[in-house]
Amino acid sequence: MDNYDFKGKKALVRVDFNVPLDENGNITDDTRIRGALPTLKKILNDGGSVIIMSHMGKPKGKVNPKLSLSQIKDAVAKALGTDVAFANDCMAADAMAADLKPGQALMLENLRFYPEEEGKPVGIDKEDPNYDAAKKEMKERQKEFSKKLASYGDVYVNDAFGTAHRRHASTAVVADYFGKDDKMLGYLMEKEVKAVDNILKDIKRPFTAIMGGSKVSTKIGIIENLMDKVDNLILCGGMTYTFAKAQGGKVGNSICENDKLDLALDIMKKAKEKGVNLILGTDCIAADAFDNNAHTMVCSAMDIPEGWEGLDAGPETRKAFAKAIEGSKTILWNGPAGVFEFDNFTGGSRAIADAVVKATKDGAFSLVGGGDSVACVNKFGLADEVSYVSTGGGALLEAIEGKVLPGVAAVQG
């Protein structure tokens, strides 16, 4: 980025503006927009123009007004300090792109309104005998889609770290249509990749990973991988109740993956074999409804009465989490400890955040990633007090698993 002069060039920039919106379409966390600003501003300041492209949500190849990027156009313009034109159809932006003058910005509608972006055949499942043929056909269409996007710009910049684990048209395939000197990673991408290196190349111990969120199933890969690296592994959030039930506990109405009980026991066994200190919630704040104003009580995570559900970590659990975190020198936090969207169930996540901040003050390197945990530290006003806040969720976890991210590989070759 630094060595490239964008003067007079049209830059096709893939960002990850998949930001959380409330029911009125207002952005509830703009970390990802702020993250992309250095790249966009550098191009505009050089005298180039930008064609900003992103996905939002999972519209599965269909137009869905609730996931229209037009909702965030004004916020992007405000953050950028310049007008942003909007192309309602990412495949029909030829004229608008051609008209761009130096210093001007254009944003394309949600790329995933076209199935070609993801490149997965629609309306046919993997068991279907025609699936392979459909997939092959879609891959061809994806190339055409990518070629069209590429035609809008002279140079391609990938700054979408949050989507770098996807081999999609705009994150990877499009790079094939630019010469090697006309494609690059943006500043945010460079910074994120460096933060991951920081964690992986020079681990200061003890290393504590805190994994939250509702399901064990979506985190199993990273949990298994982290077990070879960490000293302490805190598993919290909704996962707590799958582990509790697996050990014979009663979890009432709590979220629980009944088909993952063996997996939970296996994780416990592996942690023991590898000498990892696995810390699970022992008590919880149970509620009589999934509601911020529900009645609550503190109870054992193993003994939740019928009709009640665990929505946050209990006081004993918070102490155990804080103790492990405060003594750490490297910390990775992904996923909240409770339903933090409800103000009355933020306590567990708050205890984690406070401990992470304290450890950071004592010299630890702390990395917070994943939409929900980032929203959490922002809600607490603590984002500036941890070492690094990543815009990546799945991408960050895959990078930490040691996988090469397709979005990075496509540009770097």
Q: How far is the CB of 55 from ligand 3PG (least distance, A)?
A: 7
Q: Which listed residue (35, 115, 162, 347) binds ligand 3PG by CB under 6 A?
A: 162
Q: How far is the CB of 167 from Mg ion (least distance, A)?
A: 14
Q: How far is the CB of 164 from ligand 3PG (least distance, A)?
A: 9
Q: How far is the CB of 186 from ligand 3PG (least distance, A)?
A: 15
Nearest of 254, 308, 259 to residue 281 by alpha carbon: 254
Of residues 50-69, which lie at the interface with ligand 3PG (CB under 6 A)? Answer: 58
Site membership for ligand 3PG, residue 18 (CB under 6 A): yes
Task: Report the distance separating Cα 197 and Cα 187, nearest Å.
Answer: 15
Q: Binding-site residue total for ligand 3PG (CB under 6 A)? A: 9
Query: Which of 120, 215, 270, 329 does the annotation list as catalytic?
Result: 215
Q: Which two tokens stand for residue 360?
A: 């950071």
Task: Report the distance separating Cα 356 and Cα 353, nearest Å.
Answer: 5
Q: Assign 332 to helix, strand or coil.
A: strand
Nearest of 52, 97, 58 to residue 70 by alpha carbon: 52
Measured from the CB atom, the residue of 163 and 254 that comes closer to ligand 3PG is 163
Q: How far is the CB of 160 from Mg ion (least distance, A)?
A: 12
**180 CB contacts (<8 Å, ≥6 apart)?**
413
Q: For ligand 3PG, what does the binding mask look like between residues 384 and 403, x meaning CB under 6 A?
A: ---------xx---------
**34 CB contacts (<8 Å, ≥6 apart)?**
79
**341 CB contacts (<8 Å, ≥6 apart)?**
none
Q: For Mg ion, what does the binding mask look like between residues 381 and 410, x meaning CB under 5 A?
A: -------------x----------------
Burial class (CB within 10 angstroms; exposed 0-12, middle 13-18, buried 19+) of 181: exposed
Measured from the CB atom, the residue of 59 and 394 that comes closer to Mg ion is 394
Angle at 383 between CA 216 and CA 55, to 5 degrees: 60
Nearest of 117, 199, 125, 97 to residue 160 by alpha carbon: 117
Helix crossing, 31-46 with 187-201: angle to 10°?
130
Site membership for Mg ion, residue 213 (CB under 5 A): no
Q: How far is the CB of 18 from ligand 3PG (least distance, A)?
A: 3
Nearest of 117, 166, 118 to residue 403 by alpha carbon: 166
Measured from the CB atom, the residue of 394 and 406 that comes closer to ligand 3PG is 394
Q: Is 248 a catalytic residue?
A: no
Measured from the CB atom, the residue of 18 and 232 that comes closer to ligand 3PG is 18
Q: Which residue in the shown chain puts its C-beta closest to ligand 3PG?
A: 18
Residues 219 and 342 sit within 8 Å (Cβ to Cβ): no
Site membership for ligand 3PG, residue 192 (CB under 6 A): no
Q: Is 371 a catalytic residue?
A: yes
Binding region for ligand 3PG (CB under 6 A) out of 162-170, 325-333, 352-360, 396-404:
162-170
Binding residues vs ligand 3PG (CB under 6 A):
16, 18, 58, 162-163, 166, 371, 393-394
Q: Given the rule CB under 5 A, which residues bind Mg ion? A: 394
Q: Could you give the residue numbers annotated as active site?
A: 32, 215, 371, 394
